[in-house]
Structure 1
């Protein structure tokens, strides 16, 4: 019979894998925009998108290891990432710079919502290590949102 602790740990692992999927998907989209941005702000946006992609990529291993430290398997394929992410694919390479910025802004807002939801789940599961990591991820995501929003103004 499953206990409340088992349920909270299952919820934690599921949300961690969702956050992992969102990081993979947002990394890919941000690199796509880094490679395909054009226009008068090319250099600034090309560099900002790359900086943000690197920051997102740096968190992928840490999140995956939190899943493993909780005794569960991580995502295993592109299909498992696609099934768990809230970030929508963007295959177009001809978006205007402002469309790219807006889309990344909106995706980072989705990521922040997931992080905040996960924070509550981590607290319920008593996972202090994940709880602490989420504080750093919140700050990083809020900064990306701020930069993207400020770039749109």
Structure 2
């Protein structure tokens, strides 16, 4: 069964939305895959947190724990922005799997340096996806979502920088 996550919400709260149906569809079509990517990156970060081994175990274990918490922390805000503008958002893990662009890692044993390199690359890709969503929000004058995205882009870039530094 296929779902569209860019349609306009008909709930009473949606009647107050300041955006056209086209704007809601356009913004939602960027934010929902972004939300799926954030969930995918969260799980990958936790996977590597749980399975980290080797030198600097404790430091990297704690770094990945902190990063996982920060990543998970934006999921609610992304979904709520979609709802606030009058869109609908993800309903299930199947929606995440269908919309995510960031790959997971199911390899049983991943070398520690590869873990950090993968997460760095994923955070940079996430920042690029956020930048694309930001451009769409600016196009529709959704300054509130654009502002959130600016902070999240900076956070993703900071995580990538930390991962690169930890991998030296």
After TM superposition, the score normalised by the length of structure 2 is 0.85
Q: What SS is found at the alignment partner of 1:72? A: coil
Q: Give 2:41's match in structure 1, choosing from 26, 34, 37.
A: 26
Give every structure 1 segment of 4 or more consecutive aligned residues whose post-TM-superposition deviation is greater than 2 Å: 5-9
How far is 1:6 from its partner? 3.3
Q: Which has the higher helix share?
A: 1
CA distance in 2, matches of 1:122, 1:137: 14
What stretches of structure 1 of length at least 5 have no aligned partner?
none
| 1:50 paired to 2:65 | yes
How far is 1:127 from its partner? 0.7
What stretches of structure 2 of length at least 5 have no aligned partner?
1-19
| 1:151 paired to 2:166 | yes
Number of aligned residues: 149
CA distance in 1, matches of 2:85, 2:98: 21
1:38 corresponds to which residue? 53
After TM superposition, the score normalised by the length of structure 1 is 0.94
On the 8 A contact 1:86/1:110 being kept in 2, the answer is: no
How far is 1:9 from its partner? 2.6
Q: Which moved more, 1:68-77 or 1:50-59?
A: 68-77
Q: What SS is found at the alignment partner of 1:66? A: helix
CA distance in 2, matches of 1:15, 1:50: 27
1:126 corresponds to which residue? 141
C-alpha distance after superposition, 1:25-52 (max 9, x if no partner) = 1000000000000001111110000000
1:17 corresponds to which residue? 32
